[in-house]
């Protein structure tokens, strides 16, 4: 099972000491000696940009003990972009789940043991994975910050990681209500690129939950419902959505997740409940205070004893 404790393998350098530990939460502790976001001292923060590599390496090596002493959980990993791309490619196989956005199971990609899973690197920064039920494309952002958590008594190999990018859109900038986006030209499977994509306009920082369909009756109903917010749209066309089972597509700064398969097999409300529950919580739990960052992807290792 892969985890933040599993060293990245790519030969171009797993770690970068020049990476700043800053997570965008800059608050000093009671003694005004250490930052409660990155665990560095004032002097280290001021000197970081021009400090020699040996100084930076020493500080990075001391940060785990400082975080434990200060009670700092969320922290930045000093992986290179190449190492992150390598990690993503290895963890898209059974053993965990990747999610884009904050829409529960509808935004997750999880390959189950024994299920066919094709993983492909498309260039250095794009990784695509497909199973019979879902597909994911992760584009490793240039300014990505790789975050993990330290929890007392927790096995480091079981910690999730979060990918985030500097925020470029203000909170609440999502489109209100249903919006037609046109043909899904960026679909993972080229055969889906003429199907129509509709953004449900749900609240989320930097991601969008969409439906994709080529069913003419559902397209007509969705066009008639443009501008409606999700509860009203669900009341109007929810049963047709369940019958036609359009693809559920989550878009974000780090790529997309596409989930297919029949919705009606598990009932009308259950597969869409994560969408309804997303209202008011636009980032994963525990990241609400990171106002300067947009969380864009998450990795969750399977719990101990899970089949892999």
In this structure, is residue 67 part of a structural domain? Answer: yes
In the chain, the number of structural domains is 3
233 shares its domain with 156: no
- End residue of a domain, out of 72, 92, 109: 72
Which strands make up the sheet holding 208-213, listed edge to edge? 118-121, 126-130, 134-139, 255-259, 247-252, 208-213, 196-199, 179-183
**163-190: burial string, b at 16+ Cβ within 10 Å, e else:** bbbebeeeeeebeebbbebeebeebbee
In this structure, is residue 146 part of a structural domain? Answer: yes
- Residue 63: band (very low, low, confident or very high) from pLDDT cuts 50, 70, 90: very high
Q: In terms of residue numbers, what domain contains 48?
A: 20-72
- Please give the Cα distance from 167 to 289 (Å, whole number): 13
112 shares its domain with 247: no
Query: If phi over 0 gives left and psi between -120 and 50 gives alpha, with beta otherwise, what is residue 177?
Result: left
144 shares its domain with 289: yes
In this structure, is residue 227 part of a structural domain? Answer: yes
In this structure, is residue 218 part of a structural domain? Answer: yes
pLDDT digits over 43-60, tens only? 999 999 999 999 999 999
186 shares its domain with 271: yes
118 shares its domain with 203: no
99 shares its domain with 143: yes
Q: Which of 2-11, 168-177, 244-253 has the highest mean pLDDT?
A: 244-253
162 shares its domain with 185: no
pLDDT digits over 105-156, tens only? 778 899 999 999 999 999 889 999 999 999 999 999 888 999 988 655 555 5
159 shares its domain with 294: yes
Residue 162: which residues within 8 A CB-CB, separation 6 or more?
146, 147, 148, 284, 287, 295, 297, 298
62 shares its domain with 132: no
Q: What is the pTM of this model?
A: 0.85
147 shares its domain with 109: yes
């Amino acid at each position: 099972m892969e985890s933040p404790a599993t060293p990245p393998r790519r030969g171009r350098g797993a770690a970068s000491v020049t990476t700043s530990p800053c997570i965008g939460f800059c608050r000093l502790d009671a003694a005004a000696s250490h930052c409660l976001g990155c665990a560095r001292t004032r002097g280290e923060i001021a000197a970081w940009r021009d400090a020699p590599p040996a100084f930076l390496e020493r500080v990075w090596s001391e940060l785990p003990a400082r975080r434990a002493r200060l009670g700092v959980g969320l922290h930045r990993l000093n992986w290179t972009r190449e190492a992150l791309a390598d990690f993503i490619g290895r963890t898209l196989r059974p053993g965990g789940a990747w999610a884009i956005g904050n829409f529960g199971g509808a935004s997750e990609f999880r390959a189950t043991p024994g299920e066919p899973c094709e993983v492909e690197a498309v260039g250095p920064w794009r990784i695509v994975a497909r199973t019979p039920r879902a597909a994911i494309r992760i584009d490793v952002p240039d300014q990505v910050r790789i975050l993990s958590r330290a929890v007392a008594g927790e096995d480091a190999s079981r910690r999730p990681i979060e990918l985030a990018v500097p925020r470029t859109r203000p909170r609440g900038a999502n489109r209100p209500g249903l919006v037609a986006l046109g043909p899904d030209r960026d679909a993972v499977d080229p055969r889906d690129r003429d199907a129509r994509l509709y953004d449900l306009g749900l609240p989320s920082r930097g991601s969008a939950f969409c439906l994709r369909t080529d069913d003419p009756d559902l397209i007509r109903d969705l066009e008639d419902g443009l501008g409606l917010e999700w509860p009203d749209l669900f009341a109007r066309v929810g049963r047709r959505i369940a019958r036609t089972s359009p693809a559920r597509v989550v878009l974000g700064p780090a790529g997309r997740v596409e989930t297919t398969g029949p919705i009606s097999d598990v009932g009308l409300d259950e597969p869409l409940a994560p969408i309804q529950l997303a209202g008011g919580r636009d980032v994963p739990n525990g990241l609400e205070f990171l106002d300067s960052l947009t969380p864009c992807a998450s990795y969750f290792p399977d719990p101990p004893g899970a089949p892999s």
